[in-house]
Each structure stands twice: as C-alpha cells, then as structure tokens.
Amino acid sequence: MRSEQEMMDLILDFAGNDERVRAVGMNGSRTNPNVPKDMFKDYDIVFMVTDMDSLIMDKNWMDCFGGRIIMQTPEDMDLFPPELDGNFSYLMLFSDGNRIDLTLCPIEKKDNWNNSDKLSIVLLDKDQSLPNLPAPSDEDYWLRRPSAAFYADCCNEFWWISTYVAKGLWRQEITYAMDHLNMNLRPMLIKMLEWKVGIDTNFSLSTGKNGKYLEKYLSKQNWLALMSTYPEGTYEGVWRALFALLDLFRSTSKEVAERLNYYYPYDDDRNVTAYLMRVQRLEPGANSI
C-alpha cells in the first residue's frame, strides 16, 4: 500500500503540472488531529480549476493516481441527485486500498471552497489567492446541548415510531419492522446516548458519524446494552431488540432529563410500553387490541 507521502506527492505533482488546477485543498478525517490515522482514511481533496468541462469530459487524467478497483461519480448518477452546487466529484478506490475523494471546484468559488468546514487545509495555492484558514479543528462536529424542545421531540419521535415496529411485527412484515427500528428508532437512541456523553464531557468533543466513537465514552454496561438492540433476522429477535431499545432509551433519557433539568414524558413511556406488550401478545388475525 502506498504511503501517505507517496499519495500526497501524486496529488500535488499532478496539480502542480496542470495549468487548469490553480489550488488544492484537503478536508475530512486526514486533517483532524483528534482522529487516529489508519489505512482506511480517505484523501478528501479539492482541486480549484479554471476549466472543469475538459477535466470532466476526458477522465484519462485520473489514471496517474493508479489502478482503480472502482470509481463513482455521484453528479453523473440518476439514483442520487447532485448535491455539490456546481462541483463535480470522483470517488476512487485504488488497487492498493488507498482511496481519494476528489472534488473539482470552479475557481470562481475559491473564497469558500471548503463550505466553511473548519477541518480544512490548503495544500497548494499557485496564485496566492485563497483566504487564510485557521488551524484545523473538529469543533463544528462537537456534540451540542439540546434545548428542552429538541429533547422533547426526540422522546416523542422515539415512542411514536416504536408503535410502527410493533405493527410490522404483528403483521409479519419483518422488513418493515426492522427498517423502522434501525432507520427511525435507533437514530433517536443514538442521539440520546450522544447527549449523555456530551453532558459527561461538557460538550467538548465529537462521537463521529453514526456515533462510531460512542464505545470510547459509554460504560461497558451501556455499550453491551446498545449491542443487544441489534436484532437477528427473526420475529422473536426483533421483539427482543425492540424492548432492549426501550430499556436503554428509557434509562438514558431519564438521566439526560435529570441532569439538564428537563421533563421526561412518563405518560408516553408508560402508555406506549403497555400498548407494545399488548400487541406482542396478540394472536394473528385478532380484530381488537
């Protein structure tokens, strides 16, 4: 696998020798001093260019970075609508395991090439025209103290969505039930766990995308409880995961409410939990709860 220095040399050699590329920036995890380096870290690179069309139409220039396992160009895809506001990106995974996410940015947007992301550094500025940036910081990604209304909405969403999971399980629609558990219910639990961590750490850090660093900050007991909420592919397994989710959400959200002096919705908890238990006991084909 090519080293970080080799990859940076490839990127900057191309940029330095191509007149269309006027500046190069980097953002993402490789600029974050709080994230340990490993072989899966992407190179999130931005080329500020004068002639995007020529670079987009002829893709052979990317071969200088090495043989690719696969490439994706999201702005060319019908499945995902463009989100880069005039930019164009190449997501490239190379044969040696390195990955470059390379974005072409029109030079006219150079004053905000990084969309104000504080995890950004300038690697090359041929014309000395880019604004100065402070040292990289992940402060924008730190956990934020929730307002009382935000906390209440999280609780309400959690208890409301849990009824969808139960409905899907009773109907024997396991994919419906699992999607609501994993895609709608679980994010509320993760958010609540993150707020607990935020309180513990004075809201001074990030737990990463999808709460991927939560294990570092939760007790072993809470971490094992979280792991128990991931279901096996059976109806009984999803029921167990659902009630494990309820237990962990309940204990965590009560603690958050107490420490922030917020109101915990005891009635919603009690009423919905009783409802879910009734649904679990219902025989198939029943006409009344």
pLDDT in tens, 26-66: 998 899 988 878 889 999 999 999 999 999 998 899 999 99
Average pLDDT of every residue of the chain: 94
Count the neighbouring beta carbons within 10 Å of the beta carbon of residue 255: 15
Q: What are the tens digits of pLDDT across the range 151-169? A: 999 999 999 999 999 999 9
- Rounded CA gap, 48 and 103, in Å? 8
pTM equals 0.88
pLDDT at 84: 66
Give the pLDDT mean for 207-222: 95
Contact present, 141 and 213 (Cβ < 8 Å): no
Element housing 22 (H / E):
strand 21-27
pLDDT at 151: 98
Best CA proximity match to 205, nearest among 147, 143, 117: 143
Q: In what order do the strands lie in the sheet with 99-106?
A: 68-72, 88-94, 99-106, 43-49, 21-27, 120-125
Tokens representing residue 39 in the block? 């072989």
Cβ neighbours of residue 127 closer than 8 Å, sequence gap 6 or more: 22, 23
pLDDT at 198: 98
pLDDT at 265: 98
Q: What is the DSSP secondary structure assignment for residue 284, as one 8-state letter? A: T
Buried b (16+ CB within 10 A) or exposed e, 37-65: eeeebbbbbbbbbeebeebeeeeeebeeb
Q: Find how far residue 109's CA is from the centre of its chain.
A: 26
Cβ neighbours of residue 147 closer than 8 Å, sequence gap 6 or more: none
Domains of the chain are 4-140 (3.30.460.10), 142-281 (1.20.120.330)
Contact present, 24 and 15 (Cβ < 8 Å): yes
Cβ neighbours of residue 171 closer than 8 Å, sequence gap 6 or more: none
pLDDT at 288: 73
Give the pLDDT mean for 237-244: 97
Residue 285 pLDDT more than 70?
Answer: no
Contact present, 246 and 273 (Cβ < 8 Å): yes
Element housing 178 (H / E):
helix 174-179
